[in-house]
A and B are shown apart, each in its own frame.
Chain A
Amino acid sequence: MSLKLKALLKSPWVFHLSTGSCNNCDIEILDCLTPRFDLERFGMLLVGSIKHADVLLVTGSCNRMSVERLKELYKQVPQPCLVVAVGTCAASRGIFKDSYNCPVPLDKIIPVDVYIPGCPPKPEAMIAGVVKLIEKVGGAK
């Protein structure tokens, strides 16, 4: 495993991007940081700039306006970066599959490493998802 990747897994910093979601997943992501779940004790931190991030959390069904921003942000992110699709919308667009404003699913736009399904996924599911991500990348060596 490269040194960069190893360092990343110790304390993955997370950037959160909403591409037209209903706010539910976003709120549950914030919930992970609050006292009951408290993800920060594992070294995970929600950061304000994509340049500081190791993990990109994407929620929502990728509507026409935010897709442009998503592509732009993915260009700026320092590699290696892991992408996590949170919620059914980001994973498969759910009920928004036929919407006129959500033309392309997320994984046809950028490569996705982990899918966390659920509408919304519970904070426990998100924590489990991130742990699986670390295991997957860490096990790859």
Chain B
Amino acid sequence: MGKTIIPIGPYHPLQEEPEFFTLTVEGETVIDIDMRMGYNHRGIEKLSERKTFENSTFVVERICGICSTSHPYAYTRAVEDIFPMEVSMRSKYIRTIIAEGERIHSHLLWLGLAGHFLGYNTVYMWAWKLREEILDVMEILSGNRNAYAMFKPGGVRRDIKPEDVPLSVKKIDSILPTLDMIKKAVLDDPVLHARLKGVGVLSYQEAIDFSALGPTSRASGVARDVRKDSPYGAYQEMEWDMIVTENGDVFDKAVVRILEMFEAAKIMKYCLNNLPDGEIDAKIKDVPPGEGIGHVEAPRGETFHYVKSDGTNRPIRHKVRAPTFMNLPTYKATVKGQTISDATIILAAIDPCYCCTERIAVKDAKGRMLYDGKDLVQLSREKTAKMKRRMGVR
């Protein structure tokens, strides 16, 4: 059978970011995959070397809009590692709260998009509707929906007001039942099981070889989490679980992310309720010559920053490694041998078929269930029979 090359991108209807994949297929089966990046390259490392240590925080915040906490967090930790110094307990708690809030909204975003790619738009709308609530919490705490600008070397830029805490906790509590509903809807759905189980498997050894990170590696059974391995922030202060599953397929990656949201909500609530008193900013003045490494667990895996200083007020080298840089090449292992339609989900691109026409419910304004799918089918049958009688047809 002849080989065909299928290009995907760079501007594909359902890709958010421009990326260019070429799939080589034989019949239905993908036998090779290649990728061209560079549609998003903006030279941030070079730009950051021209800014002062304080200003670089804002540059790294613009690396990724979804990880707009992880990059400043890793960067400030790298600058603090040059001394090395520790920040105050209160600023550690505030940093943890912001980081976990970002984790919830990022996982919800992924879940919604994954539902969208599968043609399961109900999940997309539910997840994104819920995401608005967590963005509200972030807006209450930091003043912005996405780019929070809370971080600075030596502490945090803004304090959390005591009167905002009860409102935020209440909001987080209010999203948990809906989150639970989405969890059940996704994890107990036989159709999603059929669609996602055993698809795009990344084995344990491959996860090690590619140095895969975050949920991608934890779904393959590699217990790897910077929050546990090299503790930072306030993560040692409370009990929480690292979610690890064994199979490494797309379904397990979804499971890890969904369960992690509950852990993140737990951590966030603990930190808000037990916020210690104290200074929020160490007011560092000069950064000594030297080099520092900062790494934190972003929603997608470990974010790694390396900063080298020569004693002036700006870094001479700033290296940024986002988690996707290590996770993306795993496509080489997961896509080969799969069919084209599965390849596109594994690449989180599109899936042309499958929608959820069966799940209709009519609700009144108070949310009481009036009719469910079965009743609607029954109603429609009765109506058809009535019409038939009226028109005199059998």
Direct A–B contact in complex, judged by CB atoms less than 8 Å apart? yes
- Interface set of A (CB-CB < 8 Å, partner B): 17-28, 30-31, 34-36, 47-49, 60-61, 63, 65-66, 69, 73, 94-96, 98-102, 119-120, 122
- B26-62 CB contacts (< 8 Å) to partner A: 38-44, 46-47, 50, 58-59, 62
**A-B contact sample (14 more), CB < 8 A, given A27-B65, A47-B13, A120-B65:** A18-B11, A18-B18, A22-B64, A23-B66, A24-B146, A31-B132, A34-B128, A34-B132, A35-B128, A48-B13, A60-B40, A63-B41, A69-B39, A102-B43
Known contacts A26-B17, A69-B18, A120-B146; is A95 also within 8 Å of B59 by CB? yes
Beta-carbon contact of B43 and A65 below 8 Å = no
B50 touches A98 (CB 8 A): yes
Chosen A-B contacts, 21 in total, with CB atoms closer than 8 Å, are: A20-B42, A22-B64, A23-B64, A24-B68, A30-B16, A34-B125, A34-B128, A35-B128, A49-B13, A60-B40, A61-B42, A63-B39, A63-B42, A66-B40, A73-B11, A95-B47, A95-B59, A96-B43, A99-B42, A119-B147, A120-B146
Inter-chain CA distance A29–B386, complex, in Å, is: 46
Q: Which residues of A contact B129 (CB under 8 A)?
A: 34-36
Residues on the A chain within 8 Å of B18, using CB:
18-20, 66, 69
Q: Which residues of the partner chain A approach B276 to less than 8 Å between Cβ atoms?
A: none
Mostly, the A contact residues are loop
Interface residue? B109 (CB, 8 A): yes
A24-B65 contact, Cβ under 8 Å, with A17-B11, A48-B13, A122-B145? yes
Contact, CB under 8 Å: A24 / B59: no
Is B191 engaged at the interface, CB distance under 8 Å to the other chain? no
On whether the beta carbons of A102 and B42 are closer than 8 Å, the reply is yes
B14 at the interface (CB under 8 A from A): yes
Check if A66 sits within 8 Å of B46, measured CB to CB: no
If A20-B42, A34-B128, A63-B41 touch, whether A27 touches B62 (CB-CB below 8 Å) is no
B63 interface contact, C-beta 8 A:
yes
A98→B50 CA distance, assembly (Å): 10
- B residues at A contact (CB < 8 Å): 10-11, 13-14, 16-18, 38-44, 46-47, 50, 58-59, 62-66, 68, 109, 112, 124-125, 128-129, 131-132, 145-147
Expressed in whole angstroms, the Cα–Cα distance for A16 and B19 within the complex equals 15
Is the CB–CB distance between A65 and B39 below 8 Å? Answer: yes
Chain A residues, Cβ within 8 Å of B145? 28, 120, 122
> Assuming A22-B64, A23-B17, A34-B128, is B147 touching A66 (CB within 8 A)?
no
- The contact of A99 among B11, B47, B63, B65, by CB within 8 Å, is B47
B50 touches A27 (CB 8 A): no
Closest Cβ of chain B to A132, distance in Å, is 21
| Complex-state Cα separation, A30 to B109, whole angstroms | 10
Q: Lowest 10 CB-CB distances: which A-B pairs, in order?
A: A24-B65, A48-B13, A34-B128, A23-B65, A99-B43, A35-B129, A22-B65, A101-B43, A36-B132, A66-B39
A22 near B62 with CB under 8 A, answer: yes
Question: Please, which residue of chain A has its CB at the minimum distance from the CB of B124?
Answer: A34
Chain B residues with Cβ under 8 A from A60's Cβ? 40
Residue of A nearest to B14 (CB): A48
Measured CB to CB, the nearest residue on chain A to B46 is A100
A120 to B66, alpha carbons, bound, how many Å?
Answer: 11
Residue of B nearest to A35 (CB): B129
Given known A-B contacts A35-B129, A63-B40, A95 and B62 have beta carbons under 8 A apart: yes
Whether A22 and B63, one on each chain, are in contact in the complex, defined by CB atoms closer than 8 angstroms, is yes
Residue of A nearest to B106 (CB): A27
Q: Is the CB of B128 within 8 A of A31?
A: yes
Min C-beta distance of B55 to chain A, whole Å: 9
- What residues of A have a CB within 8 angstroms of the CB of B65 in the complex? 21-27, 120
CB B146 to nearest CB in A, in angstroms, measures 5
Known A-B contacts A95-B58, A98-B47; the reply to A27 vs B66 at CB < 8 A is: yes
Q: Known: A34-B125, A35-B125, A69-B11. Is A20-B16 also a contact (CB below 8 A)?
A: no
What distance in Å separates the Cβ of B115 from its nearest Cβ neighbour in chain A? 12
- Please name all residues of chain B whose beta carbon is closer than 8 Å to the beta carbon of A30 when the two chains form the complex: 16, 128
**Once bound together, how far apart are the Cα atoms of A31 and B322, in whole Å?**
24
Q: Which of A24, A63, A73 contacts B66 (CB 8 A)?
A: A24
Closest B residue to A23 by CB, please name it: B65
Cβ–Cβ < 8 Å partners of B10 in chain A: 65-66, 69
Contact A20 B128 (CB under 8 A): no
Residue pair A99, B46 in contact (C-beta under 8 Å)? yes
Whether A65 pairs with B68 at a CB distance below 8 angstroms is no
A94 contact set on B, CB distance < 8 A: 62
Distance, CA A73 to CA B18, complexed state (A)? 14
B16 touches A26 (CB 8 A): yes
A91 to chain B: closest CB distance in Å? 14
Closest to A24 in B: B65
Q: How many whole Å from A22's CB to the nearest CB in chain B?
A: 5
A104 to chain B minimum Cβ distance, whole angstroms, is 14
